[in-house]
Structure 1
């Protein structure tokens, strides 16, 4: 069987007992901690704060935030594969995970200085955009380390556990910052909402949270060392792009279904992102949820997604990643279609069909990571997960565009649901012909 050596990378020689449960937990705690950036900074707290009326016209600021994140996405698309490739070659995967993680921690802490005034909007936009860039760089190395903390028999369970920890960590941290600082008129330590102080202090809490829970993986998991069979000569940064082009061409020749999967997953992952991105908008505008009810639903959705993801990890190892992804995408399309068709049914529809929809999001995300991990040629995990980040960014406009297009054509927000479902359907159809690793012929 194929296993994982102490030094990382897929290898024909299995080292019995090489992967300890402690290392799995250490690796998964990074996911738990990273929720500080995903949930608190980019989804529910800081981006909501800087697009508020204290900073100017909400529509104008939302557009500016979109442009800032678009620029960040372009930088990730251009740089992620090369940075991943260079960490593979240099054998410094954990080092760069640590560097990029603590840059994100520092940028998150710096958000404390973004006061509730238009004068600080540019600083806020810059910090969010820069944080996204370095978070993606860190994620490339973190995902590549999956091969160092799992075996061929446990990779699905480990990936699902990590992703589920991310959801659950986000819930715990959201509860702390929301009920401890943001919701009360006077929060913990006497913090109030004057001049955005409650949100700004929440950013310090988020930074400390991420920094603390990033330490276990850096202290417990050994640094990656490429084997003699996979070690390659180091080249200059610009030359890395030439090597990358050659590697993609070779990947096309030797592992074509890896390329197919990168394309398919880019599309359905954008649809998955759209489910959470526009879920709050739909809850408020179509089903009449108040802002408080949206946050309550968001917490419930993360609980459901986290538990489902952890459970699906074991099924991934037994059945393979592709059946999990296909089932999850079908479930998403069915539940999303019910939300669309029954939109006149009130909040009970969104609480049932909408919450059922979130049950399938996490398993699809986690199984996507394990499917790719099983396809990657040994010693190229960082590079290919860099391509994974790049392809995802390259089509990140699809779900927002389809959502907006359907709403524009039909004149009602609930039609946007159908737009997201069409993106998921396209990803599903592209995935179906892709063969799993054991079925490839070369």
Structure 2
């Protein structure tokens, strides 16, 4: 006997019934989450935390020059790479599930806020990492990096709702550019604090801890802007054999169970979108290389080149300002030459940077600044165009789930790269010049996989409109 299908679930209070056109005000609010969280990458990951944690670990090393991590004896220089790898290993499980929860509940804005504030407070907690507390520092970093990646999953999933296909390169690039500008502004203040810590009555280590904690405060304060202006757009969930969930009525157990069921269907559905899967493989490879370079540039300058932290901060600060223009410029090139072709060109530059890095002269700040300049030109553009290109390959209604898979290897989340670097450092006794060469393979393989991808067909297979330049 025929049955009447259940009526469609109603959206939660305050959520629009579909994906209406975004206002300029909402887009600008979306940009500000890049502004809010980028300081974690610029000040914490790129400059202060790696060298600071390594120094704490080295000071706590035993007679054999090694430290204990829950009974496992490792070289102190490997602690930071291993901590980064652990945070991303946890993301392998957590991030796709977070995306499924976001799509299942329709509460993207609220979920992004909870995750952002956990990360911000964990970052503030780095103020208390001192003496021999290297395990506390590593634990707080793992937590902050984990939830930051999770919050960016939800953040990125707003992009298809805020921009039409032909607008996404521009909108994505503007978000990245604003993030670099915000990171540069706070890092400028941190540079003053670090260089003149004595004038403020502070020891150098205390100044570093204040800088890292203030990045958490910045992250918390500016997250308020997107949280007050972004709107949830309810599209429902696609769960085999079930009706779409009603976000306003779902119980906690049903939400969690349903999110993992939906995640399983998302992973299985990738078989129907082989070109989307191929892009994810390429992105995981080359972005692991990018994120490892970003995360360990300061530590490389310290350990391999013998450059002081004032040089490191100055170079990273220069990168932020140049990357602001670079993100916009590379985005413009992408609109003219095509997104895929532009990303491939940037990967050639990345490969050259990594290959040249071991040849830099010890103590040469000029050479380090020149290399940093080339990184800055392609840094933001590579990531912004990758985010935009992937958004075209995602089936409608599954944005957060698919961006959960995407985010596994996004900002500051380099599992394979940091693991390879950590193993190389452990095996060579901390030789960064040899270890850094292990990253070349990630850019070469990523280039090869992306070059083989038929982008236009992949976009059509996902049911989306092919933009003019892709």
Same fold per superposition (TM over 0.5): yes
Q: What is the SS of the residue equivalent to 1:117? A: coil
Within the alignment, does 1:56 sit opposite 2:81 as a pair? Answer: no
- Note if contact 2:78-2:422 (Cα within 8 Å) is conserved in structure 1: no
Question: Which one is further off, 237-246 or 227-236?
Answer: 227-236
Q: 1:72 to 1:435 in 2, by over 3 A?
A: same
- Note if contact 1:72-1:130 (Cα within 8 Å) is conserved in structure 2: yes
Taking the aligned partners of 2:281 and 2:173, their CA distance within structure 1 comes to: 22
TM-superposed deviation, 1:438? 5.2
Question: Which one is further off, 80-89 or 301-310?
Answer: 301-310
| Structure 2 equivalent of residue 100 of structure 1 | 115
Within the alignment, does 1:268 sit opposite 2:286 as a pair? Answer: yes
- Note if contact 1:9-1:147 (Cα within 8 Å) is conserved in structure 2: no
- Note if contact 2:327-2:380 (Cα within 8 Å) is conserved in structure 1: yes
Q: TM-score, normalised by structure 2?
A: 0.79
Taking the aligned partners of 1:21 and 1:312, their CA distance within structure 2 comes to: 23
TM alignment of 1:397-436, pairs within 5 A: 397-398=416-417, 400-401=419-420, 405=424, 413-436=432-455
Taking the aligned partners of 1:382 and 1:117, their CA distance within structure 2 comes to: 41
| Structure 2 equivalent of residue 40 of structure 1 | 43
Q: 1:290 to 1:383 in 2, by over 3 A?
A: same
- Note if contact 2:85-2:418 (Cα within 8 Å) is conserved in structure 1: no
| Structure 1 equivalent of residue 33 of structure 2 | 30
| Structure 2 equivalent of residue 375 of structure 1 | 393
TM-superposed deviation, 1:217? 1.1
Q: What is the SS of the residue equivalent to 2:157? A: helix
Which of residues 190, 195, 198 in structure 2 aligns to 1:177?
A: 190
TM alignment of 1:124-143, pairs within 5 A: 124-143=137-156
- Note if contact 1:8-1:145 (Cα within 8 Å) is conserved in structure 2: no
Q: What is the SS of the residue equivalent to 2:196? A: coil
Taking the aligned partners of 1:358 and 1:202, their CA distance within structure 2 comes to: 22
Taking the aligned partners of 2:51 and 2:362, their CA distance within structure 1 comes to: 28
| Structure 2 equivalent of residue 240 of structure 1 | 259
- Note if contact 1:191-1:198 (Cα within 8 Å) is conserved in structure 2: no
Taking the aligned partners of 2:78 and 2:450, their CA distance within structure 1 comes to: 33
Which of residues 114, 119, 131 in structure 2 aligns to 1:117?
A: 131
| Structure 2 equivalent of residue 3 of structure 1 | none
Taking the aligned partners of 1:48 and 1:211, their CA distance within structure 2 comes to: 24
Taking the aligned partners of 2:440 and 2:16, their CA distance within structure 1 comes to: 38
CA RMSD between the two structures: 3.4
- Note if contact 1:154-1:317 (Cα within 8 Å) is conserved in structure 2: no
- Note if contact 2:32-2:223 (Cα within 8 Å) is conserved in structure 1: yes
TM-superposed deviation, 1:239? 5.0
Structure 2: stretches of 5+ with no match in the other structure = 1-13, 68-75, 462-470
Structure 1: stretches of 5+ with no match in the other structure = 1-5
TM alignment of 1:265-414, pairs within 5 A: 265-284=283-302, 287=305, 289-339=307-357, 348-390=366-408, 396-398=415-417, 400-401=419-420, 405=424, 413-414=432-433
Taking the aligned partners of 1:342 and 1:205, their CA distance within structure 2 comes to: 33
Taking the aligned partners of 2:147 and 2:22, their CA distance within structure 1 comes to: 28
Within the alignment, does 1:199 sit opposite 2:211 as a pair? Answer: no
Taking the aligned partners of 2:82 and 2:421, their CA distance within structure 1 comes to: 18
Cα distance per residue 1:275-334 (max 9 Å; x no partner): 223433444455553332222112112222222012222333444421221111122223
TM-superposed deviation, 1:81? 0.7
- Note if contact 1:94-1:224 (Cα within 8 Å) is conserved in structure 2: no
Question: Which one is further off, 332-341 or 424-433?
Answer: 332-341
Question: Which one is further off, 23-32 or 337-346?
Answer: 337-346
TM-superposed deviation, 1:41? 2.5
Taking the aligned partners of 1:123 and 1:286, their CA distance within structure 2 comes to: 26
Aligned length: 425
Taking the aligned partners of 1:357 and 1:389, their CA distance within structure 2 comes to: 21
Taking the aligned partners of 1:431 and 1:240, their CA distance within structure 2 comes to: 30
Within the alignment, does 1:163 sit opposite 2:163 as a pair? Answer: no
Question: Which one is further off, 95-104 or 55-64?
Answer: 55-64
Cα distance per residue 1:212-259 (max 9 Å; x no partner): 211111111212321699983374524533432222222221x21111
Q: TM-score, normalised by structure 1?
A: 0.84
